[in-house]
Structure 1
Amino acid sequence: MATVSKVLILGGTGEAVALAQALDAAFGPALAVVTSLAGRTKAPTRPLGDIRVGGFGGVPGLTQYLRDGGIDAVIDATHPFAARITANAVAACAATGVPRLRLDRPAWTPAPGDDWRLVPDLHAAAALLPALGGRAFLTVGSSDLGPFKEVPDVRLWARMIEPPAPEDLPKACTVIQGRGPFSLADEEAFLRENRIDILVTKNSGGAAAAAKLTAARGLGLPVVMVDRPPSPPGDSVPTAEDAVEWLRPLVP
């Protein structure tokens, strides 16, 4: 494998921010780091190093960027549900021969006392709600509300960083804008005060967003858990420190 002097991080997550910092600490000026952000969040946490904002234009655009930008390696640290950019990275790296690593935070697993209802997608989650209760707390993205627009007889609360498009908003839905992490006490208080009887979330994993699961367990609430899309084949690590070690033999 060729040496690496410039790496592209596909970012937008806390792991990507931690990775940029870890690479700077490990390699300093020997490694140029560019982090790509989709640009959907108005005030993202800015990682160390150079930053690129906006889409690439699919596989052709990303392929061209890798070639024109002199990118020697790609680390995909996007959200576990960002399946499209991950697939684009797989294809672009295959086309250019650029090595690719997936930084994939571990998924959540149920603990004793959890009442999880595993579903394959958001449509299945929405279909399940009327049988479970009448007051659901959705912790999904701003573009994920569409499947819940026609859910009958269920009052919804949805928490997200950016507000949804008006056409995606279910009628009986209260939007709470907020950026985590949220404490266990805050999550418990929200669930109690709003008499929530169902939690809906995607299995994004990570410690930063896990307090809501602990709160739901303590209150005996069912959790409708949307499973992750399958990971593509190829190298994958769970932490920024592991990604540093993957790169270490390649950085001169």
Structure 2
Amino acid sequence: MILLLGGTGEARQLAAALVADGVEVVSSLAGRLADPQLPAGEVRVGGFGGVDGLGAWLREHRPDVVVDATHPFAAGMTAHAVAACAATGTRLLRLQRPGWTAGPGDDWRWADSLAQAAGMVHGTVLLTTGRQGVGAFAGLPGRVLVRCVDPPTDPLPAGAVLLLARGPFAVEDELALMREHAVDVVVSKDSGGPMTAAKLVAARELGIPVVLVRRPPLPPGVPVVASVEEALRWVGGRAG
């Protein structure tokens, strides 16, 4: 049996492939979205209760492997998985898609945190960092288009326009959005992957700068793969 810490497109693809191969999979979702996209196989929703709670679950259910396929910015869950797997002797794999790479014509400015990113922008901002951490931008004086799947619970900027939407997004739609609202700058986390990359293409075509928040570092000593195919090969004979 495999415990798959999910919530990403890669996690859903991996769950589907494993279930199709007859592997027992339990996918764990954080439960932060009101209407999450559910993967194949058994699904549990909600936190474990920190390192101790996850460790207790691992001791009770004894999975062969834990695959951490959470979002690249879910640093807390990744740290809990590392500690709990070390404490229980459970094998752990981190599946994390690569970050984005700038190309010719891109105007990217890097920030180490959401707070730093907030200090780097002005004018009309397209904020695409997700619902968590929106409060870091609450003090912005200009117009802020806040795009996320569910409404944020943090305070919003005074000039906020809430756009509730779930990717993937098309380049044509991103171009239309940026033109309609005369966007001056785009803010995003370096999530990577194709689901939300269209905004980067649109910003390039319109000559709009993008402020990207760097990913948190991964804990040392954990095997890391960058694709579902690599994860399937790694799991291979490790799942009973």
- Whether TM-score is above 0.5 comes out as yes
Task: Please tell me the residue identity of whatever aligns with 1:63.
Answer: G
In structure 1, the residue matched to 2:166 is 179
Deviation at 1:249, TM superposition (A): 2.5
- Work out the CA distance in 1 between the residues paired with 2:86 and 2:185: 42
Q: Is the 8 A contact 2:140 2:158 kept in 1?
A: no
Match of 2:107 among 100, 104, 115: 115
Match of 1:33 among 12, 16, 25: 25
- Work out the CA distance in 2 between the residues paired with 1:172 and 1:15: 35
Q: Is the 8 A contact 1:8 1:34 kept in 2?
A: yes
Q: Secondary structure at the match of 1:129?
A: coil
- Work out the CA distance in 1 between the residues paired with 2:31 and 2:204: 35
- Work out the CA distance in 1 between the residues paired with 2:79 and 2:105: 36
In structure 2, the residue matched to 1:145 is 134
* Counterparts of residues 12-161 of structure 1 (less than 5 Å): 12-25=7-20, 27-28=21-22, 31-130=23-122, 134-152=123-141, 154-161=142-149
Q: Is the 8 A contact 1:203 1:226 kept in 2?
A: yes
Q: How many residues align?
A: 239
Report Cα offsets for 1:101-135 as digits up to 9, x if no partner: 000001001111000000101000001113xxx10
Report Cα offsets for 1:157-209 as digits up to 9, x if no partner: 010001011x5212111110000001000000000000001000000000111
- TM-score, length-scaled by structure 1: 0.93
Q: Secondary structure at the match of 1:114?
A: coil
Q: Secondary structure at the match of 1:128?
A: coil
User: Unmatched 5+ residue regions in structure 1?
Assistant: 1-5
- For the pair 1:9 / 2:9, whether they are aligned, the reply is no
Kindly report structure 1 stretches of 4+ aligned residues shifted beyond 3 Å: none
Q: Is the 8 A contact 2:18 2:24 kept in 1?
A: no
Deviation at 1:72, TM superposition (A): 1.7
Deviation at 1:250, TM superposition (A): 1.9
Deviation at 1:70, TM superposition (A): 2.0
Q: Is the 8 A contact 1:188 1:215 kept in 2?
A: yes
Q: Percent identity?
A: 51
In structure 2, the residue matched to 1:235 is 223
Q: Is the 8 A contact 1:21 1:48 kept in 2?
A: yes
Report Cα offsets for 1:7-36 as digits up to 9, x if no partner: 1000011111001011123x31xx210000
Q: Secondary structure at the match of 2:196?
A: coil
- Work out the CA distance in 2 between the residues paired with 1:63 and 1:251: 19
Measured on the aligned residues, the alpha-carbon RMSD in Å equals: 1.0
Report Cα offsets for 1:38-77 as digits up to 9, x if no partner: 1111111111110000000000000001111222210000
- Work out the CA distance in 2 between the residues paired with 1:206 and 1:188: 19
- Work out the CA distance in 1 between the residues paired with 2:14 and 2:217: 23
- TM-score, length-scaled by structure 2: 0.97
State which drifts further: 168-177 or 220-229.
168-177
